[in-house]
Amino acid sequence: MDTPTPPLLPLSELAARCVRQSFAQSRLWFLHQLEPERAQHNILVRMVLQGEHLQTARLKRALDALSLRHPVLRACYRTAETGPEQCLAAPPSIALDYRDLGGLSASERRAVIERLLHDQQNTPFDLEAGPVMRACLLDLDAASQELIIVIHHIAFDGRSGEILLQDLAHYYDSEETGAPLPGRLQYADFAAWEPGYVTPRLIESEIVFWRDYLAGMPLQLEFDRRVRSEGPAQGGRHAFTIQAERVERLKRVSRHLRLPLFVTLTGLFQIWLHYLSGQHRFLVGTDVHGRDLPALQDIFGFFVNQLTLKCELEDELSLGELLARTRQAIRVAHGHRQLPFDLLVSHLAPQRKSDRSPLFQAKLNYQRDRFSIESLGAARLVSTQVIQDLAGFDLVLDLMHRHTSIEATLEYDRRLFSSDEIERFASLWQELLGQVDDLLEHSLSDLRSRLRGWDDTYLQQQQHAHLDQGRARLGNTRRRAISL
């Protein structure tokens, strides 16, 4: 008979000061210990603001209040005799860097911002000392600012981003100094409760399932026999937009096939990876939120688990059949999503490399835009961008569904791909999305031929464009007379 899961209740103030790390946190803590000088799990929340400028002192007070409201932001991490722990530090002062870029030209400002983003993303946090958040406020001109908040992934996920903005706006507008609300659950309560939910018995049964389910599947996705250069991964980023007309077409196809939009996007992502790699069988990953219980919805912290999806593509199957197979693979995997990813890796014991993710090297994430505030103080929030490192993956496609369009970011390892290749690959995927409703009866082998044809056309167009640019430059070149 299964032991009932204990209720999730707040710990006493004394007990909450030092608790175990969650399964999700211990995975990042392990990776941090291997390479403490790397910052591969820094997440940047970049906000563009218009209107009245934020006041630095008021913003600083709001950031400090935020760290008091959510103790996970000021936790310190260590390995004790009983295992990895997180312990509360004294209330910290959150670092806020202020820079006035108003005197620079537009190009100079862009260069400074790009350099700052690079530095912030690549400057590690000291997890043993804390805190795990810092910020930078940039004055751009009389009516424009950028606020960049950097948080370590060990205390942050997508839902936390929504809570972050809502609470930051609240504390900026109020005089409250921030403090944990009495009786409200915190991340430490979840971490202490988790072993009663993810029990040894559950872990054992899930390991049996995954070992059988993934038996015989290749654990490496290789892209066209490419050889990566030595050294750590070098992340590149290519952003593009899936326009409303194309999104509506994808939604119509999904409704026709009775599929969630995520399933359709995942199936097309797999076909695209098949074309790039030539492999018919491989694994891809996706993030799952890990907040299955209603009580977890409003807790700030890191709940994300990584889920492994099995991809088995056959030449004679039609696109419609492949999408149906994708739905079944996602259903099966989601039914076993409770097993923490790091436990799966440790039991399957694939060969580990510090610069490559185990099990799968390509990942697709899809979510609806949940950054819901419209302003910060009197400043209007124009846009929000979340930036994070590849963290050992070769390709990561992040899709954010905003109203009618989808904002896409394709992150890639520059040791494998050039920026021109990635732009070409993104164009190719967009072409597949744009014609999905006309391709449902076509087989995988036919889809592969279509992709090759679109690829050849793209390369020819690029070649012609380069020739035209060369002729234009030559025509604008002033010829000098040569005296003999």
Q: State the pLDDT confidence band at 482, using cuts at 50, 70 and 90.
A: very low
Query: Which CATH code is given to the segment(s) 200-372+389-465?
Result: 3.30.559.30
Q: b or e along 242-267 (b: 16 or more beta carbons within 10 Å of the residue's beta carbon)? A: beeebbebbeebbeebebebbbbbbb
Q: Which long-range contacts (CB under 8 A, 24 or more apart) does 349-354 make?
A: 350/219, 354/34, 354/35, 354/392
pLDDT score of 259 more than 90: yes
Q: Taking a C-beta distance cutoff of 8 angstroms, is the pair 356, 391 a contact?
A: no
Q: Taking a C-beta distance cutoff of 8 angstroms, is the pair 393, 412 a contact?
A: no
> Identical fold at 15-192 and 200-372+389-465?
yes
Q: Catalogue the E-assigned strands of 159-261.
A: 235-242
User: What mean pLDDT comes out for the span 221-226?
Assistant: 75
How far is it, in rounded angstroms, from Cα 265 to Cα 242? 12
**CA-only gyration radius of the chain, Å:** 24
DSSP 73: G
How far is it, in rounded angstroms, from Cα 240 to Cα 408? 5
C-alpha distances out from residue 5 to 10, 164, 196, 291, Å: 15, 30, 6, 15
Is omega for the bond preceding 92 within 30 degrees of 0, making it cis? no
Residue 444 is predicted with a pLDDT of 96
How far is it, in rounded angstroms, from Cα 50 to Cα 254? 38
Chain Cα centroid distance, residue 396: 8
Q: Taking a C-beta distance cutoff of 8 angstroms, is the pair 20, 84 a contact?
A: yes
Which residue ranges make up each domain of the chain?
Answer: 15-192, 200-372+389-465
For residue 178 the two structure tokens come to 């921030």
DSSP 128: T
Q: State the pLDDT confidence band at 390, using cuts at 50, 70 and 90.
A: confident
Cβ–Cβ contacts within 10 Å for residue 351, how many? Answer: 8
pLDDT score of 71 more than 70: yes
Sort 473 into a burial class: Cβ within 10 Å, 0-12 / 13-18 / 19+. Answer: exposed
Closest CA to 387 of 140, 120, 37, 67: 120
Chain Cα centroid distance, residue 391: 10
pLDDT score of 127 more than 80: yes
C-alpha distances out from residue 47 to 72, 143, 165, 361, Å: 22, 14, 10, 30
Residue 413 neighbours by CB under 8 Å, 6+ apart: 228, 233, 234, 235, 236, 390, 393, 394, 395
State whether CATH 3.30.559.10 applies to domain 15-192.
yes
Question: What percentage of the chain has pLDDT greater than the value 70?
Answer: 91
How far is it, in rounded angstroms, from Cα 248 to Cα 266? 16
Q: State the pLDDT confidence band at 473, using cuts at 50, 70 and 90.
A: low
Q: Taking a C-beta distance cutoff of 8 angstroms, is the pair 253, 438 a contact?
A: no
pLDDT score of 347 more than 70: yes
pLDDT score of 1 more than 80: no
Q: Taking a C-beta distance cutoff of 8 angstroms, is the pair 44, 387 a contact?
A: yes
pLDDT score of 484 more than 60: no
DSSP 101: -
Q: Taking a C-beta distance cutoff of 8 angstroms, is the pair 457, 449 a contact?
A: no
Q: What is the pLDDT of residues 94-112, one digit of tens each?
A: 999 999 999 999 999 999 9
How far is it, in rounded angstroms, from Cα 61 to Cα 91? 13
Which of these ranges, 69-78, 178-187, 401-410, has the smallest mean pLDDT? 178-187
How far is it, in rounded angstroms, from Cα 206 to Cα 203? 5
How far is it, in rounded angstroms, from Cα 188 to Cα 18? 8
Q: What is the mean pLDDT of the chain?
A: 90
Residue 388 is predicted with a pLDDT of 87
Q: Is 138 helix (H, G, I), strand (E, B) or coil?
A: strand
How far is it, in rounded angstroms, from Cα 54 to Cα 52? 7
Q: State the pLDDT confidence band at 342, using cuts at 50, 70 and 90.
A: confident
